[in-house]
Amino acid sequence: MSLFDKISAAGASGNVLGRADGAIRSGASSIGEQVGSLAGGGKLASAVSQAGATMGGQAVSRAVNSHIPPGMRGAINSGAEAASQIAGGDVEGGILTALESGLAGDTLGNLLGGQASQGRYWSGANMLYGGITPSEAKRIYQEAIGPGRAKKNLFLLKAQSALAGDFSHEFNLFCTDIDRGPSEVSGGKVRSGSAQLDTLTQAEPVVLRITTMDDRAGTLKRWFEAHIAAVAAQDGSFGVPADYAIVFTIQHAFVGEASAFTGRVLCRAQSYEVGLSRREDAMEELQMTFTQLDTFMSP
């Protein structure tokens, strides 16, 4: 039912102007409440509600002999239609209805005029955004920042071996960088006529490089040399993997969460380097290199 129909029903008996005023304001209030509910109580919903109530008051003040002229009737119905469109989620359609109906000079049109210019801005192609609309640029930005990206400085390193037990605390305390060679399968190409055939040869072992600091007692250097001695003893014999194997577990990005990517590799100590210099006052760093044991063995 339009606002004019409410006014007509109210004018059947009694004080027509008073009832018309109440009907218009009641209709505007109900529209405003609907808009406020659906639009989340935003500024646009508040503006429409206030404009509707003001427009209703103007209509009553201009009514002569309980008669509302057709032009005023059209203005009231157009305002109600615009507010209903906005309440239904068609914000741009409601703004255009208000402007096209000649309300640009009235309260509703003035309040929605700014919203119309904002609507044209957000829906118009803009060269500052590469020829797309600001709305599309905002959507792309939200999509870009939405996924939680992994951070390279957030990781958890665990080191365990039969020789030294769990040494994870010391490694995490001093570790600064980790470089892990990706799993690699090597192969070659064989020509067959005009085609090239891919021939696989072997799966390359994983190489793990860890950069750490150390304490004054040389705890990590002693740990590494103990594992080197377990691999190759001074008497010329080699040890068995059960004695010198080391299990490294690297948890990426989200420390302590089950959703984090976790990589485990079974290694042996290969070499380490230390760089000392009296030219600068800096922390001592160890460059440790570990190589994967038999690739068919899982940690």
For residue range 61-107, list pLDDT tens digits in order: 444 334 444 554 555 555 566 666 666 666 556 666 655 555 444 55
Amino acid identity, position 296: F
Question: What gap in Å lies between CA 297 and CA 247, rounded to an integer?
Answer: 11
Return the pLDDT at 123.
78
> In a 3-state reduction of DSSP, which class is residue 274?
strand
Mode of pairing for the β-strands spanning 184-192 and 195-204: antiparallel
Positions of the chain with pLDDT lower than 50, given as ranges: 2-4, 6-8, 10-21, 23-24, 28, 31-32, 34-42, 44-45, 56, 59-69, 72, 103-105
Tell me if 111 sits within 8 A of 99, measured CB to CB: no
For residue range 138-179, list pLDDT tens digits in order: 888 888 887 777 888 889 999 999 999 999 999 999 999 999
> In a 3-state reduction of DSSP, which class is residue 271?
strand
Cβ atoms < 10 Å from Cβ of 266: 18
First CA to last CA distance, the chain: 75
Return the pLDDT at 67.
45
Determine phi and psi for 139, rounding to 5 degrees: -65, -40
